[in-house]
Structure 1
Amino acid sequence: MAARTRLLAVLLAALTVLGGCSSLGGTGIGRDDTAAGAAARDRTDPGTAEAVRSAAPAPAAAGGATVAVSSRGPARDRSVTTSGTGSVDLRGRAASLALRISDLGRVDALTVGRTAYGALPPRAINDIARGRTWVSVDLDRVDLGLYADTTVQLATGITGNPADLATVLEALTDDVRVVGPETIEGTPTIHFRGGVDLARLPVVAPDLRGAADRLRAELPLAAVPVDVWVDATGRLRRVTETLVPGETVTTTTLSGLGPQPAVVAPSAERVRDLFRELRRRAG
């Protein structure tokens, strides 16, 4: 209750200071460019960070959410854009997404814990899956250097599983600041900006140590920049994770909070381990 009260106080203060001289409409972005507004946007303190962290558990408490995802960035030496929709079971740490990947077409993707599965389009099945319907990626064993490629192609965020989103935000750095009021799909929100501390991530979620270690090895970052949008009821609405500024970005937009259908991994006889297959080909 105290965390929720603190969050609502932060949102109210931001709306009052930043929203007083701005309008929320059209493109959905309003901004107060007065000296007070600029000071509010520049202010960072641990209380604001803790307030934003407290918004993260709401979707998990509801059971999950429907989501829209997108990503852009380089993957395996080519530029890739991905978009899609689906659902996340935040309690079960699982997700089901229908994706469209720029140079591959439609891919149905499932993530269950630390394993991602993709049902490839027909033109790719015989070439990679060799007669099986699905390929799998063990997110904690994928070759270093391909981890970020995988998260970009599947639009799954820094851990490789969009159902980790609430957990990831528990590792926010303390220097979170207010950007301003914005509208997300017709809902007024406050936009915050901060970072996910990769050293802290395994502390709040020990099972994500492998993901944090891979990111720290691949990226020259101590914290992954994130933008977070929270609505007036204190619920998380959108998160953008930036692996490489101006180059590699994933975005998850949440709606329809509530229990989601169970995500069931495909049976083993229908799955080919993607990176084991790639290593076999490479000799």
Structure 2
Amino acid sequence: MVGAGNGRRLCALGIAGALAGTVLVGCGDDGDAQDGAGASSARTSAGAEEQDTRAVRSAYGRTAQEDTAKVRLRVRTSADGRSETANGQGAVDLEDGDSAMTLGVQGQRIEQRVIDRILYQRMPEGQAPGGKPWIRIDIGKVAAQQGAGDGSVSDPAQSAAYAKAITDKGVAKKGAETIGGVRTTRYGVLVDVAELPDGGTLRKQVGPTLPMDVWLDDQGRMRRQQIEMTVKAPAQSREGSSSDASAAPQRFTVRTVTDFTDFGTDVAVDAPPAGQVTDMTGKLLKQGGRQS
């Protein structure tokens, strides 16, 4: 990492940036979003479970049909007894993942754009490297090095793969809740990591399953998504360490909550002028290589 404080901040913001472009991971199949009858027989219970699974799997398609939405994002990253919280709000294209957001981290404000899986962030004054206000990170390249595929988990072409990762046993209805004045049904979901693209590698980092909660409105659209994962990072490299260089890999926990409102809102995202941007992709890839 680049320095303790800046490195952690960049990590948290990088996660926030990636999630801003992948907000609908885990869903995407055809199915009905109607509730089960709730009878006591085993057959009816099994039918209700299957119906709940179809409702969750269909949520991506139903939400993506709205094309765009406003989003509110909360990301809490915890490691080594410390935690950082990033809050964001903006708008996202639900089909291609492009987004424009404003993030707040440690009292500082950061403008963020995701375009074609390229993350741009306008850093606070005096904090951007290279004397330029914007940094650029190729999310796909960084994710590929970390064994997370090309980072395109919101790509409609891959959505079926994520839907298949949700088994009938992995969905449980948790009850009704009101989100932003909208009545929703909350579902708990377990995603089988091995069934995801590059799941074998990803499984080593996050474990066999990912817990996820989703809140669906009466049209089967996603109104809130919560993902919590514990990530096993490679052991710290030799720099700055001594006899403990071979210590057990670090772990950090990321909890992300994303709210969706105002479906159909306008989303206009443009890349910053090239002369105002410093590309940080190579530096992050080099740091990642040293830690592997």
CA deviations over 1:14-50 (Å, ceiling 9, x no partner): 7xx8xxxxxxxxxxxxxxxxxx7xxx99998444212
Unaligned runs of 5+ in 1: 18-35, 149-157, 203-208
CA deviations over 1:122-174 (Å, ceiling 9, x no partner): 0312xxx21222112222332899899xxxxxxxxx99789669948635511
Q: How many Å separate the matches in 2 of 1:232 and 1:107?
A: 35
CA RMSD of aligned residues (A): 3.9
Counterpart in the other structure of 1:92 = 96
Q: CA deviation at 1:250?
A: 0.5
Q: How many Å separate the matches in 2 of 1:143 and 1:61?
A: 27
Counterpart in the other structure of 1:235 = 221
User: Would you say 1:66 and 2:70 are equivalent positions?
Assistant: yes
Counterpart in the other structure of 2:192 = 197
SS in 2 for 1:55: helix
User: Would you say 1:108 and 2:114 are equivalent positions?
Assistant: no
Q: How many Å separate the matches in 2 of 1:258 and 1:268?
A: 30
Moved more, 239-248 or 86-95: 239-248
Counterpart in the other structure of 1:133 = 133
Q: 1:248 aligns with which of 248, 254, 275?
A: 254
Moved more, 49-58 or 232-241: 49-58
Q: How many Å separate the matches in 1 of 2:79 and 2:279?
A: 19
Counterpart in the other structure of 2:205 = 218
SS in 2 for 1:93: coil
Q: How many Å separate the matches in 1 of 2:80 and 2:153?
A: 21
Moved more, 90-99 or 169-178: 169-178
Q: With structure 2 as the length reference, what TM-score do the two structures score?
A: 0.66
Q: How many Å separate the matches in 2 of 1:48 and 1:251?
A: 21
Q: Is the 8 A contact 2:210 2:228 kept in 1?
A: yes
Number of aligned residue pairs: 233
Q: CA deviation at 1:213?
A: 6.6
SS in 2 for 1:56: helix
User: Would you say 1:180 and 2:166 are equivalent positions?
Assistant: no
Letter of the aligned partner of 1:68 in structure 2? R
Q: Is the 8 A contact 2:214 2:224 kept in 1?
A: yes
Q: How many Å separate the matches in 2 of 1:86 and 1:171?
A: 30
Q: With structure 1 as the length reference, what TM-score do the two structures score?
A: 0.68
Q: How many Å separate the matches in 1 of 2:150 and 2:259?
A: 16
User: Would you say 1:79 and 2:83 are equivalent positions?
Assistant: yes
CA 1:215–1:98 in 2, change beyond 3 Å: closer, same or farther?
farther
Aligned pairs for 1:143-182 within 5 A: 167=159, 170-174=163-167, 175-182=170-177
CA 1:143–1:229 in 2, change beyond 3 Å: closer, same or farther?
closer
Q: Is the 8 A contact 2:90 2:101 kept in 1?
A: yes
Counterpart in the other structure of 2:240 = none
Q: Is the 8 A contact 1:62 1:259 kept in 2?
A: no
User: Would you say 1:270 and 2:282 are equivalent positions?
Assistant: no
Q: CA deviation at 1:75?
A: 6.6
Q: How many Å separate the matches in 2 of 1:262 and 1:163?
A: 19
> Relative contact order (alpha carbons < 8 A, sep ≥ 6): 1 or 2 greater?
1
Q: CA deviation at 1:101?
A: 1.2
SS in 2 for 1:121: coil
CA 1:130–1:75 in 2, change beyond 3 Å: closer, same or farther?
farther
Q: How many Å separate the matches in 2 of 1:232 and 1:273?
A: 43
Unaligned runs of 5+ in 2: 1-28, 232-251
Q: Among all aligned residue pairs of Structure 1 and Structure 2, give the percentage whose two residues are the same amino acid.
A: 28
User: Would you say 1:260 and 2:266 are equivalent positions?
Assistant: yes
Letter of the aligned partner of 1:54 in structure 2? S
Counterpart in the other structure of 1:124 = 127
Q: CA deviation at 1:77?
A: 8.7
Q: Is the 8 A contact 2:162 2:195 kept in 1?
A: no
Letter of the aligned partner of 1:82 in structure 2? A
CA 1:76–1:263 in 2, change beyond 3 Å: closer, same or farther?
farther
